[in-house]
Amino acid sequence: MLTIEQIESVCDDPRSSSLPHQMVESSALSLRAVFYPFGFLAEVRTNSHAVLEQYGELWGKFQHQQNAPPVRCDVQLVESDAVDCPPAPTYRLGLPFMVCVADRDNYCIVDLERSHARIVLSQAALRHPLYAQYFLLGVPACCIATGLATPVHAGCVTLNGRGVLLCGDSGAGKSTLSYACARAGWTYITDDASYVLNGGSGRIVTGNCHQVRFRPSAASLFPELEGCDITPRAAGKPSIELPTAPMTHITPAQTAAVDFIVFLNRRTPGPPQLVPYRKDVARRFMRQILYGPEESLARQYESIEKLLSAEIFELRYHDLSWAIDRLQILVTEGQ
């Protein structure tokens, strides 16, 4: 297992540091495939068909929509005598590099400036697909979340081509309200994580329209969720995770233009209402999850300011049907 000092050494100067012995040059990875996570181009090179299958599950449903330099992912599968799932990784950020280490056979080094991830993955880890996808294979998406787009902790739905970004803390009801709106005829973009496209003049966001995730308690609100299994997760709280493709009552879309930003508030007692919200609080809320090289942060701050040119509200509510109706009035009447 790499020590913290070794990780820090790689972070300090990974270009001149010797790579761990398992990591080979990209030319030795003979298998090639392209995928389009969140619409961006990702080029995967590996020595394993099984790795490509995992990327197919992770990113295979997305369509190519964004013109941007590719994210490069070099993934080497190594033999391992281990049978147990590896431990959760340790992360170190030494800009412009991020290093993620679980053990000596499972780690990655990501160059955030060059959008290049080099990953070593053991056969033992690959026998646990949720672990492999969440902790290692999905890590190259951080290149998108730093250099190509700006992540926002928000769901997104649209009605008649007008987008509403649903913001709030974990548990605020973003997934529930996003799905409820979609059931009522809105277009579904994402339930919990939106990405603002950097550059351009529009407030355009993308997300994972191919999946919706619920707290187990959501089954009491949506009868169709009754009896659904709790999805095993590599990290985070137990949830029900379902693909949207089989849901004939849901219309998904990969991108949307944002016209309104709505912060969800189910805490405040009193009558339900939609009221203007503070831009300074919204700005701080959105900036707090950002990281990356200085130039990337500057682009992301610009994207946040562009996004904040939309009208911003707080939705105080307790009844889901009332919230959907009030959002529909906002979209159709602009108030």
More confident residue, 19 or 192: 192
Q: How far apart are CA 204 and CA 331, in angstroms?
A: 17
Helix axes 294-307, 279-287, angle to 10 degrees: 150
Instruction: Supply the DSSP string of 58-99, one letter for each residue.
Output: HHTT-------PPEEEEEEEE-----SPPPPPEEEEETTEEE
**pLDDT for 18-73, tens place per residue?**
455 566 666 689 999 999 999 999 999 999 999 999 999 999 999 999 999 999 99
Mean of the pLDDT values across residues 185-204? Answer: 94
**Model pTM score:** 0.90
Omega within 30 of 0 (cis) for the link into 96: yes
Instruction: State the CB neighbour count (10 A cutoff) for residue 106.
Output: 28
Mean of the pLDDT values across residues 287-303? Answer: 94
- At 25 the three-state DSSP class reads coil
Q: What is the pLDDT of residue 137?
A: 95
**pLDDT for 68-93, tens place per residue?**
999 999 999 999 888 899 999 999 99
Q: How far apart are CA 246 and CA 276, in angstroms?
A: 37
Q: What is the pLDDT of residue 11?
A: 59
- Say how many Å lie between the first and final Cα of the chain, rounded: 57
Burial of residue 2 (number of CB atoms within 10 Å: 0-12, 13-18, 19+) = middle
**pLDDT for 274-288, tens place per residue?**
999 999 999 999 999
Under 8 Å between Cβ of 49 and 31: yes
Domains of the chain and any CATH numbers: 4-139 (no CATH), 150-333 (3.40.50)
Helix axes 320-333, 174-183, angle to 10 degrees: 70
Tokens of 172: 């605020």
Tokens of 188: 């579904």
